[in-house]
Amino acid sequence: MFSKACEYSLRAVIYLATRPTESRRVRLQEIADAIESPVAFTAKLLQELVRQDVLVSIKGPNGGFELAGEGDEITLYQVVRAIDGKKLFEKCAIGLKECSASHPCPVHNDFVEIRDKLTTVLKSTTVNKAAGSIGKGKSFLASLSS
């Protein structure tokens, strides 16, 4: 449902939120390793998240990336919008240019329900909430084969 770029971006932001407050600034290589993403691709994604005010980038020997605000204020919806835009929340499930309640595609009504639920979940889930489930061992950011 999300692009690969969005998946990695969600992982990166959640990973940053798992870090203790005093060490939330993390270097690119560590983030790429933690989210199982190529370094160059991760760099591009993180820079886009900086441009979209989700992350902050600090240069220098103690530099790295960190959340642009409190993890309780940044939602997964913001990350998805920053990387994939709003098309996921508005476009037709089967790609028709025109699809609406008055001119629906064959799966319009079902898809609108799913899309609305997804939007609600993403808007109500902060990165701290997502990170908290990792800290409690209820969810994971890495594959089992790692």
Q: Record the pTM.
A: 0.89
Handedness of CA 115, 119, 121, 126 (dihedral sign): positive
Beta bridge partners of 55: 67
- Architecture of the domain spanning 4-135: Orthogonal Bundle (1.10)
Show the beta-strand stretches assigned E in the chain: 55-58, 64-67
Q: Is 145 exposed, middle or buried (0-12, 13-18, 19+ CB in 10 A)?
A: exposed
pLDDT in tens, the chain (146 residues): 799 999 999 999 999 999 877 777 899 999 999 999 999 999 999 999 999 999 999 998 889 999 999 999 999 999 999 999 998 888 999 999 999 999 999 999 999 999 999 999 999 999 999 998 887 777 887 766 54
Q: Who contacts 116 (Cβ-Cβ below 8 Å, separation ≥6)? A: none
The DSSP-derived string for 37-58 is --HHHHHHHHHHHHHTTSEEEE
